A and B are shown apart, each in its own frame.
Chain A
Protein backbone atom coordinates (compact mmCIF):
# COMPACT_ATOMS: atom_id res chain seq x y z
CA UNK A 1 0.00 0.00 0.00
CA UNK A 2 3.02 2.28 -0.44
CA UNK A 3 1.33 4.01 -3.35
CA UNK A 4 -1.25 5.52 -1.06
CA UNK A 5 1.25 6.88 1.44
CA UNK A 6 2.06 9.53 -1.16
CA UNK A 7 -0.27 12.47 -0.56
CA UNK A 8 -0.30 13.43 -4.26
CA UNK A 9 -1.69 9.98 -5.09
CA UNK A 10 -4.31 10.21 -2.36
CA UNK A 11 -5.27 13.55 -3.82
CA UNK A 12 -5.72 11.99 -7.28
CA UNK A 13 -7.90 9.29 -5.75
CA UNK A 14 -10.07 11.69 -3.76
CA UNK A 15 -10.49 14.14 -6.66
CA UNK A 16 -11.46 11.28 -8.97
CA UNK A 17 -14.24 10.10 -6.70
CA UNK A 18 -15.41 13.65 -5.98
CA UNK A 19 -15.96 14.12 -9.71
CA UNK A 20 -17.94 10.85 -9.85
CA UNK A 21 -20.04 12.05 -6.92
CA UNK A 22 -20.72 15.45 -8.50
CA UNK A 23 -21.50 13.91 -11.91
CA UNK A 24 -23.87 11.40 -10.34
CA UNK A 25 -25.65 14.02 -8.23
CA UNK A 26 -26.24 16.51 -11.04
CA UNK A 27 -27.13 13.88 -13.65
CA UNK A 28 -29.55 12.17 -11.22
CA UNK A 29 -31.52 15.42 -10.88
CA UNK A 30 -31.38 16.04 -14.64
CA UNK A 31 -32.41 12.49 -15.57
CA UNK A 32 -35.21 12.39 -13.00
CA UNK A 33 -36.80 15.66 -14.13
CA UNK A 34 -36.39 14.87 -17.82
CA UNK A 35 -37.50 11.25 -17.34
CA UNK A 36 -40.75 12.20 -15.56
CA UNK A 37 -41.56 14.75 -18.25
CA UNK A 38 -40.87 12.17 -20.99
CA UNK A 39 -43.02 9.57 -19.22
CA UNK A 40 -45.86 12.12 -19.02
CA UNK A 41 -45.35 12.79 -22.74
CA UNK A 42 -45.56 9.09 -23.53
CA UNK A 43 -48.92 8.61 -21.78
CA UNK A 44 -50.44 11.94 -22.82
CA UNK A 45 -53.46 12.20 -25.13
CA UNK A 46 -51.48 14.33 -27.61
CA UNK A 47 -49.89 12.29 -30.44
CA UNK A 48 -47.05 14.75 -31.08
CA UNK A 49 -45.84 14.50 -27.50
CA UNK A 50 -46.15 10.70 -27.51
CA UNK A 51 -44.04 10.67 -30.66
CA UNK A 52 -41.36 12.86 -29.08
CA UNK A 53 -41.21 10.58 -26.01
CA UNK A 54 -41.03 7.40 -28.07
CA UNK A 55 -38.35 8.80 -30.38
CA UNK A 56 -36.25 10.00 -27.43
CA UNK A 57 -36.40 6.62 -25.69
CA UNK A 58 -35.62 4.61 -28.82
CA UNK A 59 -32.75 6.81 -29.90
CA UNK A 60 -30.98 7.35 -26.58
CA UNK A 61 -31.56 3.89 -25.13
CA UNK A 62 -29.99 2.25 -28.16
CA UNK A 63 -26.99 4.56 -28.57
CA UNK A 64 -23.82 3.79 -26.59
CA UNK A 65 -23.26 6.33 -23.81
CA UNK A 66 -19.65 6.57 -24.97
CA UNK A 67 -20.89 7.90 -28.31
CA UNK A 68 -23.25 10.36 -26.60
CA UNK A 69 -20.49 11.72 -24.34
CA UNK A 70 -18.12 11.80 -27.33
CA UNK A 71 -20.74 13.79 -29.26
CA UNK A 72 -21.24 16.22 -26.36
CA UNK A 73 -17.56 17.07 -26.55
CA UNK A 74 -16.65 16.84 -30.24
CA UNK A 75 -20.08 17.77 -31.56
CA UNK A 76 -21.66 20.24 -29.17
CA UNK A 77 -18.44 21.79 -27.87
CA UNK A 78 -15.77 21.52 -30.59
CA UNK A 79 -17.87 21.66 -33.75
CA UNK A 80 -20.90 23.67 -32.65
CA UNK A 81 -19.15 25.88 -30.12
CA UNK A 82 -21.41 25.29 -27.12
CA UNK A 83 -19.48 26.41 -24.03
CA UNK A 84 -20.97 25.79 -20.61
CA UNK A 85 -18.16 27.19 -18.49
CA UNK A 86 -14.90 29.08 -19.00
CA UNK A 87 -13.01 26.66 -16.77
CA UNK A 88 -11.98 23.65 -18.90
CA UNK A 89 -12.71 21.06 -16.18
CA UNK A 90 -16.06 22.67 -15.34
CA UNK A 91 -16.94 22.74 -19.04
CA UNK A 92 -16.16 19.03 -19.47
CA UNK A 93 -18.09 18.34 -16.29
CA UNK A 94 -21.25 20.05 -17.55
CA UNK A 95 -20.93 18.43 -20.99
CA UNK A 96 -20.71 15.10 -19.16
CA UNK A 97 -23.78 15.92 -17.07
CA UNK A 98 -25.72 16.73 -20.25
CA UNK A 99 -24.70 13.42 -21.85
CA UNK A 100 -25.45 11.33 -18.76
CA UNK A 101 -28.80 13.08 -18.19
CA UNK A 102 -30.21 12.70 -21.70
CA UNK A 103 -29.12 9.04 -21.77
CA UNK A 104 -30.36 8.08 -18.29
CA UNK A 105 -33.65 9.99 -18.78
CA UNK A 106 -34.65 7.42 -21.42
CA UNK A 107 -34.32 4.62 -18.83
CA UNK A 108 -36.08 6.66 -16.10
CA UNK A 109 -38.93 7.32 -18.53
CA UNK A 110 -39.39 3.62 -19.27
CA UNK A 111 -39.19 2.67 -15.60
CA UNK A 112 -41.87 5.22 -14.67
CA UNK A 113 -44.05 4.12 -17.56
CA UNK A 114 -43.86 0.52 -16.36
CA UNK A 115 -44.77 1.85 -12.90
CA UNK A 116 -47.83 3.58 -14.36
CA UNK A 117 -48.84 0.18 -15.74
CA UNK A 118 -48.91 -1.26 -12.22
CA UNK A 119 -51.59 1.22 -11.07
CA UNK A 120 -55.00 -0.44 -11.46
CA UNK A 121 -57.16 1.06 -14.20
CA UNK A 122 -59.97 1.67 -11.70
CA UNK A 123 -57.89 4.34 -9.98
CA UNK A 124 -57.70 6.51 -13.07
CA UNK A 125 -61.35 5.80 -13.86
CA UNK A 126 -62.34 6.91 -10.35
CA UNK A 127 -60.23 10.04 -10.70
CA UNK A 128 -61.92 10.89 -13.99
CA UNK A 129 -65.33 10.15 -12.50
CA UNK A 130 -64.86 12.88 -9.90
CA UNK A 131 -63.91 15.26 -12.69
CA UNK A 132 -60.13 15.37 -12.58
CA UNK A 133 -58.28 16.43 -15.71
CA UNK A 134 -55.50 14.36 -17.32
CA UNK A 135 -52.76 16.32 -15.55
CA UNK A 136 -54.54 16.13 -12.21
CA UNK A 137 -55.07 12.39 -12.56
CA UNK A 138 -51.42 11.93 -13.40
CA UNK A 139 -50.07 14.22 -10.68
CA UNK A 140 -52.36 13.41 -7.76
CA UNK A 141 -53.37 9.78 -8.32
CA UNK A 142 -51.11 7.93 -10.74
CA UNK A 143 -47.54 9.23 -10.40
CA UNK A 144 -47.31 8.97 -6.58
CA UNK A 145 -48.29 5.30 -6.76
CA UNK A 146 -46.17 4.64 -9.84
CA UNK A 147 -43.20 6.26 -8.10
CA UNK A 148 -43.45 3.86 -5.16
CA UNK A 149 -43.66 0.89 -7.52
CA UNK A 150 -40.46 1.82 -9.37
CA UNK A 151 -38.12 2.45 -6.43
CA UNK A 152 -36.17 -0.74 -7.17
CA UNK A 153 -35.67 -0.20 -10.93
CA UNK A 154 -34.87 3.49 -10.35
CA UNK A 155 -32.32 2.38 -7.78
CA UNK A 156 -30.54 0.16 -10.28
CA UNK A 157 -30.70 2.94 -12.88
CA UNK A 158 -28.97 5.39 -10.52
CA UNK A 159 -26.38 2.80 -9.48
CA UNK A 160 -25.64 2.28 -13.17
CA UNK A 161 -25.47 6.06 -13.55
CA UNK A 162 -22.76 6.27 -10.89
CA UNK A 163 -20.77 3.61 -12.74
CA UNK A 164 -21.44 5.25 -16.11
CA UNK A 165 -20.05 8.53 -14.78
CA UNK A 166 -16.59 7.01 -15.33
CA UNK A 167 -17.18 7.37 -19.08
CA UNK A 168 -16.90 11.16 -18.78
CA UNK A 169 -13.17 10.46 -18.44
CA UNK A 170 -13.27 10.05 -22.24
CA UNK A 171 -13.51 13.80 -22.65
CA UNK A 172 -10.64 14.60 -20.33
CA UNK A 173 -12.23 14.89 -16.89
CA UNK A 174 -9.95 13.27 -14.30
CA UNK A 175 -12.65 11.10 -12.75
CA UNK A 176 -11.82 7.89 -10.91
CA UNK A 177 -11.15 5.58 -13.89
CA UNK A 178 -8.75 8.06 -15.52
CA UNK A 179 -7.18 8.66 -12.12
CA UNK A 180 -6.65 4.90 -11.73
CA UNK A 181 -5.16 4.69 -15.21
CA UNK A 182 -2.65 7.42 -14.38
CA UNK A 183 -1.71 5.84 -11.06
CA UNK A 184 -1.20 2.44 -12.71
CA UNK A 185 1.00 3.92 -15.41
CA UNK A 186 3.11 5.72 -12.83
CA UNK A 187 3.29 2.82 -10.34
CA UNK A 188 3.62 -0.40 -12.31
CA UNK A 189 4.79 -2.29 -9.22
CA UNK A 190 1.51 -1.72 -7.38
CA UNK A 191 -1.22 -2.40 -9.94
CA UNK A 192 -3.14 -4.81 -7.70
CA UNK A 193 -3.44 -2.54 -4.64
CA UNK A 194 -4.37 0.38 -6.90
CA UNK A 195 -7.11 -1.63 -8.62
CA UNK A 196 -8.41 -3.05 -5.36
CA UNK A 197 -8.69 0.42 -3.81
CA UNK A 198 -10.52 1.95 -6.78
CA UNK A 199 -12.76 -1.02 -7.54
CA UNK A 200 -13.27 -1.63 -3.82
CA UNK A 201 -14.51 1.93 -3.30
CA UNK A 202 -17.20 1.41 -5.93
CA UNK A 203 -18.13 -2.00 -4.50
CA UNK A 204 -18.27 -0.77 -0.91
CA UNK A 205 -20.51 2.15 -1.81
CA UNK A 206 -22.70 0.60 -4.52
CA UNK A 207 -23.44 -2.89 -3.16
CA UNK A 208 -25.03 -1.57 0.09
CA UNK A 209 -26.83 1.10 -1.97
CA UNK A 210 -28.37 -1.71 -4.00
CA UNK A 211 -29.60 -3.47 -0.85
CA UNK A 212 -30.84 -0.13 0.53
CA UNK A 213 -32.98 0.42 -2.56
CA UNK A 214 -34.31 -3.16 -2.29
CA UNK A 215 -35.28 -2.55 1.33
CA UNK A 216 -36.80 0.83 0.48
CA UNK A 217 -38.78 -0.69 -2.40
CA UNK A 218 -40.28 -3.24 0.00
CA UNK A 219 -41.15 -0.60 2.57
CA UNK A 220 -42.68 1.83 0.11
CA UNK A 221 -44.54 -0.76 -1.99
CA UNK A 222 -48.26 -0.04 -2.28
CA UNK A 223 -49.84 -3.11 -0.72
CA UNK A 224 -52.67 -4.33 -2.92
Chain B
Protein backbone atom coordinates (compact mmCIF):
# COMPACT_ATOMS: atom_id res chain seq x y z
CA UNK B 1 0.00 0.00 0.00
CA UNK B 2 2.89 2.33 -0.56
CA UNK B 3 1.32 4.16 -3.51
CA UNK B 4 -1.63 6.34 -2.71
CA UNK B 5 -4.67 4.89 -4.48
CA UNK B 6 -6.65 8.10 -4.07
CA UNK B 7 -4.42 9.99 -6.45
CA UNK B 8 -5.12 7.44 -9.15
CA UNK B 9 -8.84 7.98 -9.39
CA UNK B 10 -9.32 11.74 -9.49
CA UNK B 11 -7.38 14.81 -10.52
CA UNK B 12 -6.09 17.51 -8.25
CA UNK B 13 -9.29 19.48 -7.71
CA UNK B 14 -9.71 22.75 -9.52
CA UNK B 15 -11.86 25.59 -8.15
CA UNK B 16 -15.17 24.00 -9.20
CA UNK B 17 -14.25 20.55 -7.90
CA UNK B 18 -13.11 22.14 -4.65
CA UNK B 19 -16.49 23.81 -4.11
CA UNK B 20 -18.27 20.60 -5.07
CA UNK B 21 -16.15 18.53 -2.69
CA UNK B 22 -16.75 21.06 0.07
CA UNK B 23 -20.52 20.89 -0.46
CA UNK B 24 -20.47 17.08 -0.54
CA UNK B 25 -18.29 17.00 2.57
CA UNK B 26 -20.81 19.15 4.41
CA UNK B 27 -23.79 17.13 3.12
CA UNK B 28 -22.25 13.78 4.07
CA UNK B 29 -21.00 15.26 7.34
CA UNK B 30 -24.56 16.23 8.25
CA UNK B 31 -25.84 12.78 7.23
CA UNK B 32 -23.14 11.16 9.38
CA UNK B 33 -23.88 13.33 12.39
CA UNK B 34 -27.62 12.64 11.98
CA UNK B 35 -26.90 8.90 11.83
CA UNK B 36 -24.71 9.00 14.94
CA UNK B 37 -27.34 11.09 16.71
CA UNK B 38 -30.00 8.54 15.76
CA UNK B 39 -27.88 5.71 17.21
CA UNK B 40 -27.21 7.79 20.32
CA UNK B 41 -30.92 8.55 20.65
CA UNK B 42 -31.90 4.89 20.25
CA UNK B 43 -29.42 3.91 22.97
CA UNK B 44 -30.69 6.77 25.12
CA UNK B 45 -34.28 5.61 24.67
CA UNK B 46 -33.30 2.29 26.24
CA UNK B 47 -31.40 4.08 28.98
CA UNK B 48 -28.01 2.75 27.86
CA UNK B 49 -26.17 5.98 28.69
CA UNK B 50 -27.35 5.99 32.31
CA UNK B 51 -24.51 6.68 34.73
CA UNK B 52 -24.79 3.47 36.79
CA UNK B 53 -24.10 1.39 33.67
CA UNK B 54 -20.81 3.17 32.99
CA UNK B 55 -19.69 4.01 36.51
CA UNK B 56 -18.24 0.51 37.16
CA UNK B 57 -15.50 1.31 34.64
CA UNK B 58 -14.25 4.14 36.83
CA UNK B 59 -13.96 1.69 39.68
CA UNK B 60 -10.58 -0.01 40.04
CA UNK B 61 -12.05 -3.31 41.17
CA UNK B 62 -13.94 -3.74 37.87
CA UNK B 63 -10.60 -3.75 36.12
CA UNK B 64 -8.69 -5.87 38.62
CA UNK B 65 -11.53 -8.38 39.13
CA UNK B 66 -12.88 -8.80 35.61
CA UNK B 67 -11.18 -7.07 32.71
CA UNK B 68 -7.48 -7.49 33.47
CA UNK B 69 -7.69 -11.19 34.46
CA UNK B 70 -9.70 -11.78 31.28
CA UNK B 71 -7.17 -9.88 29.20
CA UNK B 72 -4.35 -11.86 30.82
CA UNK B 73 -6.06 -15.16 29.93
CA UNK B 74 -6.47 -13.94 26.36
CA UNK B 75 -2.82 -12.93 26.08
CA UNK B 76 -1.61 -16.14 27.74
CA UNK B 77 -3.59 -18.41 25.42
CA UNK B 78 -2.57 -16.36 22.37
CA UNK B 79 1.14 -16.37 23.30
CA UNK B 80 1.36 -20.11 23.95
CA UNK B 81 -0.71 -20.95 20.87
CA UNK B 82 1.55 -18.69 18.79
CA UNK B 83 4.72 -20.47 19.90
CA UNK B 84 3.19 -23.90 19.31
CA UNK B 85 1.78 -22.93 15.92
CA UNK B 86 5.17 -21.61 14.80
CA UNK B 87 6.68 -25.02 15.60
CA UNK B 88 3.76 -26.80 13.95
CA UNK B 89 4.03 -24.52 10.91
CA UNK B 90 7.75 -25.07 10.38
CA UNK B 91 7.48 -28.85 10.77
CA UNK B 92 4.61 -29.18 8.31
CA UNK B 93 6.03 -26.67 5.81
CA UNK B 94 9.23 -28.71 5.67
CA UNK B 95 7.13 -31.89 5.58
CA UNK B 96 5.22 -30.67 2.54
CA UNK B 97 8.47 -29.88 0.74
CA UNK B 98 9.96 -33.29 1.52
CA UNK B 99 11.34 -35.52 -1.24
CA UNK B 100 9.58 -38.57 0.22
CA UNK B 101 5.98 -39.00 -0.80
CA UNK B 102 5.14 -40.73 2.50
CA UNK B 103 6.08 -37.54 4.35
CA UNK B 104 4.83 -35.05 1.76
CA UNK B 105 1.32 -36.43 1.28
CA UNK B 106 0.33 -36.88 4.95
CA UNK B 107 1.70 -33.41 5.74
CA UNK B 108 -0.37 -31.98 2.91
CA UNK B 109 -3.50 -33.76 4.11
CA UNK B 110 -3.03 -32.50 7.67
CA UNK B 111 -2.47 -28.90 6.59
CA UNK B 112 -5.38 -28.83 4.13
CA UNK B 113 -7.71 -30.50 6.62
CA UNK B 114 -7.06 -28.16 9.54
CA UNK B 115 -7.33 -25.13 7.28
CA UNK B 116 -10.74 -26.24 6.03
CA UNK B 117 -12.36 -27.21 9.35
CA UNK B 118 -13.96 -24.36 11.32
CA UNK B 119 -11.98 -23.58 14.46
CA UNK B 120 -15.10 -23.73 16.61
CA UNK B 121 -15.90 -27.25 15.39
CA UNK B 122 -12.34 -28.26 16.28
CA UNK B 123 -12.59 -26.73 19.76
CA UNK B 124 -15.94 -28.42 20.39
CA UNK B 125 -14.40 -31.76 19.42
CA UNK B 126 -11.40 -31.25 21.69
CA UNK B 127 -13.48 -29.95 24.58
CA UNK B 128 -16.56 -32.18 24.44
CA UNK B 129 -15.37 -35.17 22.39
CA UNK B 130 -11.83 -35.94 23.52
CA UNK B 131 -12.84 -36.42 27.21
CA UNK B 132 -15.00 -39.35 26.06
CA UNK B 133 -11.86 -40.96 24.60
CA UNK B 134 -9.38 -40.17 27.36
CA UNK B 135 -11.90 -40.30 30.21
CA UNK B 136 -10.28 -37.18 31.63
CA UNK B 137 -11.90 -33.73 31.55
CA UNK B 138 -10.27 -31.34 29.08
CA UNK B 139 -9.36 -27.95 30.59
CA UNK B 140 -10.88 -25.20 28.41
CA UNK B 141 -7.48 -23.51 28.26
CA UNK B 142 -5.95 -26.46 26.41
CA UNK B 143 -8.97 -26.88 24.17
CA UNK B 144 -8.48 -23.25 23.08
CA UNK B 145 -4.70 -23.52 22.70
CA UNK B 146 -4.73 -26.83 20.79
CA UNK B 147 -7.51 -25.62 18.48
CA UNK B 148 -5.68 -22.36 17.78
CA UNK B 149 -2.40 -24.21 17.22
CA UNK B 150 -3.83 -26.65 14.68
CA UNK B 151 -5.57 -23.92 12.66
CA UNK B 152 -2.95 -21.18 12.79
CA UNK B 153 -0.13 -23.69 12.50
CA UNK B 154 -1.61 -24.89 9.21
CA UNK B 155 -1.96 -21.34 7.91
CA UNK B 156 1.63 -20.60 8.94
CA UNK B 157 2.80 -23.84 7.30
CA UNK B 158 1.48 -22.55 3.98
CA UNK B 159 3.11 -19.16 4.57
CA UNK B 160 6.47 -20.77 5.38
CA UNK B 161 6.20 -23.01 2.34
CA UNK B 162 5.65 -19.97 0.12
CA UNK B 163 8.57 -18.26 1.88
CA UNK B 164 10.93 -21.21 1.45
CA UNK B 165 10.01 -21.50 -2.22
CA UNK B 166 10.60 -17.78 -2.69
CA UNK B 167 14.25 -18.04 -1.61
CA UNK B 168 16.24 -17.83 -4.88
CA UNK B 169 17.31 -21.24 -6.08
CA UNK B 170 20.96 -20.30 -6.30
CA UNK B 171 21.05 -20.26 -2.51
CA UNK B 172 20.33 -23.94 -2.10
CA UNK B 173 22.38 -24.83 -5.19
CA UNK B 174 25.38 -23.08 -3.67
CA UNK B 175 24.80 -24.82 -0.35
CA UNK B 176 24.63 -28.24 -2.01
CA UNK B 177 27.77 -27.35 -4.00
CA UNK B 178 29.78 -26.84 -0.82
CA UNK B 179 28.62 -30.25 0.36
CA UNK B 180 25.73 -29.50 2.69
CA UNK B 181 23.09 -32.15 3.12
CA UNK B 182 19.38 -31.46 2.53
CA UNK B 183 18.73 -31.21 6.24
CA UNK B 184 21.48 -28.62 6.65
CA UNK B 185 20.36 -26.63 3.62
CA UNK B 186 16.85 -26.44 5.02
CA UNK B 187 17.95 -25.60 8.55
CA UNK B 188 20.78 -23.21 7.89
CA UNK B 189 19.98 -21.60 4.54
CA UNK B 190 16.30 -21.74 3.66
CA UNK B 191 14.33 -21.53 6.93
CA UNK B 192 16.19 -18.51 8.37
CA UNK B 193 15.61 -16.53 5.16
CA UNK B 194 12.01 -17.66 4.83
CA UNK B 195 11.33 -16.81 8.47
CA UNK B 196 12.67 -13.32 7.98
CA UNK B 197 10.71 -12.72 4.81
CA UNK B 198 7.59 -14.05 6.52
CA UNK B 199 7.91 -11.93 9.66
CA UNK B 200 5.09 -9.52 8.73
CA UNK B 201 2.82 -12.46 7.86
CA UNK B 202 3.59 -14.07 11.20
CA UNK B 203 2.70 -10.91 13.09
CA UNK B 204 -0.54 -10.46 11.10
CA UNK B 205 -1.43 -14.03 11.94
CA UNK B 206 -0.97 -13.09 15.59
CA UNK B 207 -3.84 -10.60 15.19
CA UNK B 208 -6.06 -13.40 13.87
CA UNK B 209 -4.96 -15.56 16.79
CA UNK B 210 -5.72 -12.90 19.41
CA UNK B 211 -9.21 -12.48 17.96
CA UNK B 212 -9.79 -16.22 17.80
CA UNK B 213 -9.14 -16.63 21.52
CA UNK B 214 -12.60 -15.06 21.89
CA UNK B 215 -14.00 -18.40 20.70
CA UNK B 216 -12.89 -19.67 24.11
CA UNK B 217 -15.89 -17.80 25.48
CA UNK B 218 -18.15 -20.41 23.88
CA UNK B 219 -16.51 -23.31 25.74
CA UNK B 220 -16.26 -21.44 29.02
CA UNK B 221 -12.63 -20.31 28.99
CA UNK B 222 -12.54 -17.18 31.16
CA UNK B 223 -10.94 -14.84 28.63
CA UNK B 224 -11.70 -11.20 27.93
CA UNK B 225 -15.11 -11.78 26.33
CA UNK B 226 -16.28 -14.22 29.01
CA UNK B 227 -14.92 -12.29 31.96
CA UNK B 228 -15.09 -8.70 30.80
CA UNK B 229 -18.42 -8.82 28.97
CA UNK B 230 -20.46 -11.81 30.06
CA UNK B 231 -19.73 -11.98 33.79
CA UNK B 232 -19.25 -8.26 34.23
CA UNK B 233 -22.36 -7.49 32.18
CA UNK B 234 -24.42 -9.95 34.17
CA UNK B 235 -23.28 -8.47 37.48
CA UNK B 236 -23.91 -4.84 36.63
CA UNK B 237 -26.62 -5.26 34.00
CA UNK B 238 -24.53 -3.28 31.52
CA UNK B 239 -23.78 -5.75 28.72
CA UNK B 240 -23.82 -3.08 25.99
CA UNK B 241 -21.39 -0.84 27.87
CA UNK B 242 -19.13 -3.80 28.72
CA UNK B 243 -19.13 -5.01 25.12
CA UNK B 244 -18.15 -1.53 23.90
CA UNK B 245 -15.27 -1.34 26.40
CA UNK B 246 -14.07 -4.85 25.50
CA UNK B 247 -14.27 -4.04 21.78
CA UNK B 248 -12.10 -0.95 22.35
CA UNK B 249 -9.50 -3.09 24.16
CA UNK B 250 -9.44 -5.63 21.33
CA UNK B 251 -9.20 -2.90 18.68
CA UNK B 252 -6.33 -1.13 20.46
CA UNK B 253 -4.47 -4.42 21.04
CA UNK B 254 -4.85 -5.62 17.46
CA UNK B 255 -4.34 -2.23 15.82
CA UNK B 256 -0.98 -1.96 17.59
CA UNK B 257 -0.05 -5.45 16.38
CA UNK B 258 -1.06 -4.48 12.82
CA UNK B 259 1.00 -1.31 13.12
CA UNK B 260 3.94 -3.40 14.33
CA UNK B 261 3.49 -5.72 11.32
CA UNK B 262 3.58 -2.68 9.04
CA UNK B 263 6.82 -1.43 10.61
CA UNK B 264 8.38 -4.88 10.22
CA UNK B 265 7.26 -5.07 6.61
CA UNK B 266 8.80 -1.72 5.76
CA UNK B 267 12.02 -2.67 7.54
CA UNK B 268 12.37 -6.04 5.84
CA UNK B 269 11.58 -4.44 2.50
CA UNK B 270 14.11 -1.67 2.98
CA UNK B 271 16.87 -4.04 3.99
CA UNK B 272 15.98 -5.96 0.84
CA UNK B 273 15.93 -9.38 2.50
CA UNK B 274 19.45 -10.06 1.26
CA UNK B 275 22.44 -8.25 -0.22
CA UNK B 276 21.44 -9.14 -3.76
CA UNK B 277 18.25 -7.03 -3.79
CA UNK B 278 17.90 -4.65 -6.68
CA UNK B 279 20.11 -6.77 -8.90
CA UNK B 280 17.21 -7.82 -11.06
CA UNK B 281 15.14 -10.89 -11.41
CA UNK B 282 15.81 -13.32 -8.54
CA UNK B 283 15.25 -10.92 -5.69
CA UNK B 284 12.29 -9.32 -7.44
CA UNK B 285 10.45 -12.57 -8.05
CA UNK B 286 11.16 -13.46 -4.46
CA UNK B 287 9.39 -10.41 -3.19
CA UNK B 288 6.51 -10.73 -5.65
CA UNK B 289 6.00 -14.34 -4.65
CA UNK B 290 5.87 -13.28 -1.03
CA UNK B 291 3.54 -10.36 -1.69
CA UNK B 292 0.24 -12.11 -2.39
CA UNK B 293 0.64 -14.26 0.70
CA UNK B 294 1.05 -11.13 2.78
CA UNK B 295 -1.92 -9.47 1.10
CA UNK B 296 -4.45 -12.26 0.93
CA UNK B 297 -3.41 -15.59 2.32
CA UNK B 298 -2.24 -14.50 5.72
CA UNK B 299 -5.14 -12.41 6.79
CA UNK B 300 -7.71 -15.15 6.79
CA UNK B 301 -10.61 -13.49 8.53
CA UNK B 302 -11.40 -16.38 10.78
CA UNK B 303 -13.40 -15.37 13.89
Q: Chain A interface (Cβ within 8 Å of chain B)?
A: 43, 45-50, 52, 58-59, 61-67, 70-71, 74-75, 78-81, 103-104, 107, 110-111, 113-114, 116-117, 119, 121, 124, 128, 134, 137-138, 142, 152-153, 156-157, 159-161, 163-164, 166-167, 169-170, 176-177, 180-181, 184-185, 188-189, 191-192, 194-195, 198-199, 202-203, 206-207, 210
Contacts and interface: CB of A to CB of B under 8 A. Distances in A.
A64 B124 contact: no
Given A62-B254, A166-B121, A184 B296 contact: no
Contacts of A185: 128
Contact of B243 (A75, A142, A157, A192): A75
Contacts of B272: none
Contacts of B5: 43, 113, 116-117
Contacts of B233: 74
Interface string B290-303: 00100111011111
A199 B42 contact: no
B116 A206 contact: yes
Interface stretch (B25-33, B92-100, B168-176, B278-286): B25-33
A217 to B, nearest CB: 10
Main secondary structure of the interface of A (DSSP, over half): helix
Contact of A58 (B1, B125, B246, B251): B251
Given A191-B132, A202-B116, A160 B302 contact: yes
Contacts of B247: 59, 63, 67, 71
Interface in B77-118: 112-113, 116-118
A70 B302 contact: no
B interface, size bucket: 35 or more
B13 A45 contact: yes
Contacts of A45: 6, 9-10, 13, 17, 21
Nearest to B234: A74
B255 A47 contact: no
